[in-house]
Amino acid sequence: MRSEQCDVFIIGGGPAGATVGTLLAQSGLNVVIAEKESFPRFHIGESLLPHNLPLLDQLGVRSDIQSTSIVKRGIEFVSPTHGKSVRFDFARALDRRHPYAFQVRRSEFDEILLRNAESKGVEVLEKCRVTAVELEGSSTPTVTAQIDGSKRSWKARFVVDASGRDTVIANKLRTKERHPRNASAAVFGHFRNARRLEGDAEGNISIIWFDRGWFWFIPLADGTTSIGAVCAPEVFKSRKGDMEAFFNELIASSPEVSDRLKDAVREGGVTATGNYSYLSSQTSGRNFLMVGDAAAFVDPVFSTGVYLAMRGAFQAAGAVKACLARPERQDKLLKRYDRNIVKAADAFTWFIYRIRQPAMRDLFMAPRNMFRVEEAVLLLLAGGIDRRFRVQARLYFFRGIYYLTKGIHFCARLTCRKDKGAQAGLTPSMGQ
């Protein structure tokens, strides 16, 4: 089998792969994207963040995407334990330049991005599954793929792994590290006639807590609503019937969700997926890097996945261009890239990993804008993670309030236990 040549070979044509491809082709490089599916294809992850929009502008696709989307102005958190819902509007964030985002059908969104890459000169090969990547022993890695029943191989100056949760290179190098405390699974479907919020809040995402986890409620432009339940893996393991019956049972157990769905009809099937968070301990190496979910995946509660993938893709494109132009500086450039990827995910994870804690929920359900802390948290929820001191200081202040609230919860639990203990001790003597 004779090897073909290219400057950059990209595994996967999702938002990360299509974005890196577009940017590299625009700078004159010869780029190939291999995508195992044929687009448009279904993908979960339909809620974008406001800070994703400038990236769409830079790629020149915002208006195409807007025409197939609904505007998302904020997030509604619904907590039955607190007996209320709270709405956060991005327009009130500390930086008000990005007041809204879009809810998208990923089949349409991803196709617009991939066709845009193609129009900028990327060679896009669909139904082309990468089966092997040889990274060592040569200055030019070799990629082998299966397409139309035959094998093809490429020698590339640089390989970008944008294969999403298939994590082609991280699996090969065994560098994928699961987060020890953040495992969950999701089951989801699409519904017509779900009751949405009213007025300009119609496109908002709702995060609805229930006793076994949380639901997402994402309105789409075509009138359907994407609804999914995220629970601990044990909840899934304990299910008795099939996935559809299990999903119906979860919905029925949440009065808030079942009320919004009382006139709704499900369209299409029910899908389940594992959801655990991971980070590859190495996100780059000689002549290759990983981007998007191929490098790291964080729990989807704040809808960060597509934004992190596309933001990472801009950084990846910069790193690849620099590495090809100055190979002698590659180690340094890739170290900086690794740091940026970890930093971006870390900006969200402190909040994400604590959102299940009662203390964090209390703070989210009773927001107070003391010293503009609420506005700083809103900026984070909008994707504003390029921290300036005025934002960072407020987020640290929020962390302080969180730990204080947690302390108060702890003392309350302790007092409650003592009271119960005293009562248990008193009861027999009272009866004597």
Ligand X SMILES: Cc1cc2nc3c(=O)[nH]c(=O)nc-3n(C[C@H](O)[C@H](O)[C@H](O)COP(=O)(O)OP(=O)(O)OC[C@H]3O[C@@H](n4cnc5c(N)ncnc54)[C@H](O)[C@@H]3O)c2cc1C
| 186 makes contact with ligand X (CB under 6 A) | yes
| 61 makes contact with ligand X (CB under 6 A) | no
In a 3-state reduction of DSSP, which class is residue 59? helix
Min dist CB 327 to ligand X, Å, is 26
Contacts 24+ apart (CB under 8 A), 410-413: none
Cα–Cα distance measured from residue 66 to residue 60, given in angstroms and rounded to the nearest whole number: 12
The single residue among 15, 141, 203, 384 that binds ligand X, judged by CB under 6 A, is 15
The single residue among 21, 50, 300, 384 that binds ligand X, judged by CB under 6 A, is 300
Min dist CB 332 to ligand X, Å, is 25
Q: Which of residues 233-292 bind ligand X (CB under 6 A)?
A: 273, 275, 292
Tokens of 376: 């700083």
Residue 287 contacts residue 140 (beta carbons within 8 Å):
yes
Chain centroid, CA 406 distance in Å = 27
Cα–Cα distance measured from residue 307 to residue 290, given in angstroms and rounded to the nearest whole number: 15
Size of the site for ligand X (CB under 6 A): 39
Between residues 303 and 405, which has the closer beta carbon with respect to ligand X? 303
| 37 makes contact with ligand X (CB under 6 A) | yes
- Torsion of Cα atoms, 367 then 373 then 374 then 378, to 10°: -150
Chain centroid, CA 141 distance in Å = 29
Q: Segment contacting ligand X (CB under 6 A): 39-47, 56-64, 206-214, 330-338?
A: 39-47
Q: Element (H or E) spanning 255, and its range?
A: helix 255-260
Residue 316 contacts residue 308 (beta carbons within 8 Å):
no
Residue 20 contacts residue 313 (beta carbons within 8 Å):
yes
Convert residues 148-167 into a mask of x (bound to ligand X by CB under 6 A) and - (unbound).
Answer: --------------xxxxx-
Between residues 156 and 168, which has the closer beta carbon with respect to ligand X? 168
Min dist CB 398 to ligand X, Å, is 23
Q: Which residues contact 279 (CB under 8 A, 6 or more apart)?
A: 176, 177, 179, 295, 296, 342, 345
> Strand pairing partners for 361?
none
| 11 makes contact with ligand X (CB under 6 A) | yes
Min dist CB 412 to ligand X, Å, is 34
Between residues 131 and 140, which has the closer beta carbon with respect to ligand X? 131
Between residues 15 and 384, which has the closer beta carbon with respect to ligand X? 15
Min dist CB 56 to ligand X, Å, is 13
Q: Which residues in this chain contact ligand X in the complex, by CB under 6 A? A: 11-17, 34-37, 43-48, 129-130, 162-166, 168, 186, 228, 273, 275, 292-294, 300, 303-307, 309
